[in-house]
Amino acid sequence: MGISVAPSETLEAAIAGVLAEGVGTGERLGELGRLGARLILQRAVEEEVAAFLRGPGTSGPAARGSRNGVRPPRFQTAEGS
């Protein structure tokens, strides 16, 4: 299985490429603005997904969740959970 790269990281690399080449023309400046706007929206989406996966009232290392909805099963037996 390959390593997944967040879309925001791809956009950051594209922005760095535009800045490395220079923003001399209006067209390049427009491209930089579009990439910046996409980056802001993408980060907001990624943060929203992360918050949803953590669930209400959880954060940090104790947070659980996954994108495919798999959670550890909880079984109740006579001995306990």
Query: How far is residue 18 from each of residues 42, 61, 70, 72, 76, measured CA to CA in Å?
Result: 18, 36, 40, 45, 57
8 phi and psi angles, rounded to 5 deg: -65, -35
> Cβ(11)–Cβ(42) under 8 Å?
yes
Model pLDDT, residue 8: 93
Residue 42 maps to a domain: yes
In a domain, 34, yes or no: yes
Q: Note the pLDDT tens digit of each residue in 19-60.
A: 999 888 888 899 999 999 999 999 999 999 888 877 766 555
Residue 29 domain-assigned? yes
Q: Establish if 4 belongs to a structural domain.
A: no
How many structural domains does the chain have? 1
Domain holding 33, by residue range, is 25-55
Asked if residues 6 and 46 have their Cβ atoms less than 8 Å apart, the reply is: yes
Distance between CA 13 and CA 25 in Å, rounded?
Answer: 20
